[in-house]
Amino acid sequence: MPPTDTNLRRTVDGEEISRFDAMADGWWDPDGPSALLFKLNPIRLSFILDNLASVMSTPTGEGDALAGIQLLDVGCGGGILSEPMARLGAKVTGIDASKANISVARDHAQQMNLKINYRCQTLEELHSTGQKFEVVVAMEVLEHVADKAIFLETLSLVLKPGGSLFLSTFNKTLKSYAAAILGAEYVLRLLPRGTHQWEKFTPPSKIIQGLLTHGLEPMRIRGIGYAPLSRTWTLTKDLSVSYILHASKPLDQS
Compute the mean pLDDT over every residue in the chain, rounded to the nearest whole number.
91
Does residue 239 surpass a pLDDT of 50? yes
Amino acid at residue number 181: I
Residue 137 vs residue 30, higher pLDDT: 137
Does the pLDDT at position 8 exceed 90?
no
Q: What share of the chain is helix, strand, coil (3-state, %, to 5)?
A: 40, 20, 35
With cut-offs at 50, 70 and 90, classify the pLDDT of residue 156: very high
User: Of the ranges 13-17, 82-86, 154-158, 224-228, which one carries the lowest mean pLDDT score?
Assistant: 13-17
d(CA 100, CA 77): 9
Question: CA dihedral defined by 200, 203, 206, 212, rounded to 10 degrees?
Answer: 120
Provide the whole-model pTM: 0.91
CA distance 96 to 20: 10
Q: Report d(CA 123, CA 79) in Å as an integer.
A: 16
- Is the CATH number 3.40.50.620 carried by domain 6-248? no
Q: What is the pLDDT of residue 192?
A: 79
* Domain map (residue ranges) of the chain: 6-248
pLDDT exceeds 50 at position 245: yes
Query: What confidence score (pLDDT) does residue 47 get?
Result: 98
27 DSSP 8-state letter: T
Q: Are 135 and 58 in contact (CB under 8 A)?
A: no
Q: Give pLDDT tens digits for 113-145.
A: 999 999 999 999 999 999 999 999 999 999 999
Query: What is the band of 59 on the pLDDT scale with cuts at 50, 70, 90?
Result: low
